[in-house]
Structure 1
Amino acid sequence: MMMRKFMKKAAIVACCVALIGGVLTGCSKSDNNKDLNNSNSNNQGATNEPTKAEDNKQGNKKLSGSIMLVGSTSMEKLSRAVAEDFMSKNGGVIVTPEFVGSGAGIEAVLKGTADIGNSSRNLKDAEKEAGAVENIVAIDGIAVVLDKANTVTNLTKDDLIGIYTGTIRNWSDLGGSNQPIVVIGREAGSGTRGAFEEILKIEDQCAYANELDNTGAVMAKVASIPGAIGYVSLDVVDDSVNAASLDGVAPTAENIKAGDYFLSRPFVMATKGAISEQSELVQAFFDYMYSEDGKAIIEAVGLISID
């Protein structure tokens, strides 16, 4: 009898132990599953790229809005290239370039009708006094272009001064054929004209046969008229014309960087006030212009980037 009671109690204890063990095991498995799920979740967050929402939480704002670039026709290739690249990197931004000449571009930025005034020359003292700030973004060479049939390949600084002031009138005076020199230039207010005349110190002394209002027109006129000579931004020169060497130095980016080619000028993106005073979007645009991406575009269009 005593033995039966003892065995009955032992069976009850065994059952209780089994039940407790099962509960504990179930709890352990549940906790382990939770830990595993949390671990997987953390691992996924560590390996995946952050979402746009996460980017915003981290302080990376998405740019939006518009920028107006107004001014130099010589800066057209650069302006279009950087506008396209900047917009491709910032989907909410529109950059609109307009080409009306350097003087008009600086006037527009001072009036507040443009965010940036493109100028292919240094700013004048009067423009700076009015509040324009000179932000140089690149260096450009000015190429002297001749029609393809011209046999003259090299000109000195004195030759250029004589040609543009009208004291040298025939190519035979410079070793070429007996042919009148047709002097082509840009209109008053052009940054290219301003830089060209300033470098040669012949402001208000030039005797132009034609004064044209954009770079493309100068190229076309020189290409089509025998004996013509003109000046254009180096980055637009193509095989429709010949680009003369100056004082024996070819017009190349390498020679300009070395300081050996004397006809060079800055490309300026003027602002009204310092860059730090501009909108967040305009400041971001200048950050891009001075970044490695911006420098790559500048060099890709044949200009010299600023270090």
Structure 2
Amino acid sequence: MALPDTETILTAAGLVATAAVWAMERFLPGRKRIGYRVQMDTAIGMNPQDAHSVVQLRLLRQDQEIRDATLALLRFENDGGKDIVRQDYQEPLTVEFAGRTVIGVEVPDANPTDLVGMLTRNGGGLRHDGDRLLVPKVPLNKRNHFKLLVLLSGPGDGADGGNGGGAGSGGGPGEVTVGGFISGGRIRRNAQRWGPRKLSLALGGTFIVLLGLLGGLLLNGRTAPVPSECAGGRLTIDGSTAFAPPMREIARQYRARCAGADITVLESGSLSGLGNLSREAKPATTEGPGFIAVSDVPAPSLYRRLEGERVGVILLSLVANEKAGVDDLTLGQVRRIYDGTYTNWKQLHGNDLPIHLVSRDAGSGTRRAFETSVLHRSEPGVVSSYDCGDKDRDERARLTRCEVNGTKSLLDAVDRVPGAIGYAEVYAAAKRQHLVSVRLDGHEPDIEWGQQRDYPFWTVEYLYTYGRPEDGSLTAKFLAFMDSDTAKNIMRMYKHVPCADRQSLPDTVCRP
């Protein structure tokens, strides 16, 4: 039968040609790519002609009048084929508005929402100077995006809209130019009408149709190959409550890629997770279920069969109820709080409230890190309170101190009890409205390590297995996935520093 062979050859040839054009258009200039679009660039009309004789309106911001005000809405997205990390930016993104002055900027939309905090955080967020807007180096996984709403003043240059006004706004007051440089990629403007993006979609659609046709001719019931990073089976991950949020998201991303993987993330505490792993007492194989323990501290020497690797640095913070009236303590003051020298916040220039210590239980790696890096000794052993608010367990104790068994429980207690203080990982603490992150000796945690070398409260995160997992097992594949750009970007979003960022970390931090 010559006809089917001819159809197959022609279909394959069309598939190859379409794929080649699509790849040239989309990938050859750089698989790492940030696309941008000016979705709106319009003047804010404050004085309608029909009402000019009756009233004149003024636009004010911080009691200053803004003349020739305009609003611009820009969208940035990773529309390339690879995730983008901070180190990929050789030059950060800059936006220039010719003939106009940037007055203010907001982030009205971002996916994921964690990008909002990265773009707006104090000291390292969006900045503007004259006609230029400086965008911080934020990691972008594939299809991540954010929008910037910019308030400007001035008439602008090029009233026909120039490079930006025609992009979705039907003309605007001035030119918008975006600059920057990505290693191994590029930054480009996406058109909304027929252009590179829609050409890419059209070629992609043609490619899919041809691929389906070729599959019908050749594959004849064969299934698609499983990606090399994937393995099926069951995996339990247990341990640190501080590292549980990013680990859950990393596991979710792995499951989305690998349909046969069943991954459960628990958070019983660092030392409890290590104990549970030790009791499993068997290395992971391709046949049986796997187990990974997550710990904020190195495994004790009694667990000789456990093998660990460092995945990153987790930043921790002292947190106080806002009614305490403090936001900065010296290390000496913290130590005297925990030894009972200070019992009221007014002794530390705060409000007249008794100090309540909310601590983690003895199985917590975060507590071990606090004792090692801040107190330089163990926490006091007396637990005088069940509810963290009253001495309902030992009313004769000098300190009001309770213990809880997880990060969320600790933050709930500090949030609830006026005068309470505790410790937790930075990302979770920052999401609580009534908590204050306490600076230590004037320093605060910062994911940009070079800006916070003097901040003492952090620890290395470890992943442990019982012996070496078998090659090809789900455990081995998942550990390899932890070194992917996707996993690293998730860690950065949760204010952790991956060991992949070794150039910004002290030499000994991630060294085995």
Bucket of the pairwise TM-score, normalised by the shorter protein: 0.7 to 0.9
Is the contact between residue 63 and residue 281 of structure 1 (CA under 8 Å) also seen in structure 2?
yes
Local SS of the residue matching 1:73: coil
1:202 to 377, 386, 394: 377
Identity %: 24
**1:250-289 CA distance string (max 9 Å, x none):** 23323587423110012222111235x4652111111111
| Higher-helix-fraction structure | 1
- Paired residue for 1:40? 10
Distance 1:62 1:69, change over 3 A: closer
Residues 1:90 and 2:264 are matched in the alignment: no
Q: How many residues align?
A: 273
Question: Which residue identity is paired with 1:158?
Answer: G
* Whole-angstrom CA distance in 2 between matches of 1:217 and 1:146: 14
The higher-RCO structure (CA 8 Å, 6+ apart) is 1
Deviation at 1:204, TM superposition (A): 5.0
Pick which of 82-91 and 265-274 moved more.
265-274
Is the contact between residue 235 and residue 262 of structure 2 (CA under 8 Å) also seen in structure 1?
yes
Is the contact between residue 444 and residue 452 of structure 2 (CA under 8 Å) also seen in structure 1?
no
Question: TM-score, normalized by length of structure 1?
Answer: 0.79
**1:174-200 CA distance string (max 9 Å, x none):** 221232211110011111111111222
- Paired residue for 2:324? 150
Is the contact between residue 70 and residue 99 of structure 1 (CA under 8 Å) also seen in structure 2?
yes
Question: Which residue identity is paired with 2:311?
Answer: V
Question: Which residue identity is paired with 2:333?
Answer: D
- Paired residue for 1:259? 453
Deviation at 1:95, TM superposition (A): 0.7
- Paired residue for 2:356? 182
**1:202-238 CA distance string (max 9 Å, x none):** 1254555101111111111111111111011112112
Kindly report which structure 2 residues correspond to 1:1-307, keeping only aligned pairs within 5 A, or say none. 37=7, 39-44=9-14, 46=16, 47=19, 53=222, 56=225, 60=228, 63-112=231-280, 115-127=291-303, 129=304, 131-199=305-373, 200-203=375-378, 205=380, 209-237=401-429, 238=431, 239-255=433-449, 258-274=452-468, 277=470, 280-307=473-500
Question: Which residue identity is paired with 1:43?
Answer: A
* Whole-angstrom CA distance in 2 between matches of 1:90 and 1:160: 47
**1:29-88 CA distance string (max 9 Å, x none):** x99x8996464144146345777958639x948521111001122222112111111101
Greater radius of gyration (CA): 1
Which ranges in structure 1 are unaligned for 5 or more consecutive residues?
Answer: 1-29
Deviation at 1:168, TM superposition (A): 2.1
* Whole-angstrom CA distance in 2 between matches of 1:146 and 1:38: 69
Distance 1:221 1:99, change over 3 A: same
Question: Which residue identity is paired with 2:225?
Answer: N
Question: TM-score, normalized by length of structure 2?
Answer: 0.49
Which ranges in structure 2 are unaligned for 5 or more consecutive residues?
Answer: 20-206, 282-289, 384-400, 501-512
* Whole-angstrom CA distance in 2 between matches of 1:166 and 1:60: 56
Question: Which residue identity is paired with 2:349?
Answer: G
Distance 1:45 1:112, change over 3 A: farther
Is the contact between residue 295 and residue 305 of structure 1 (CA under 8 Å) also seen in structure 2?
yes
Deviation at 1:97, TM superposition (A): 0.8
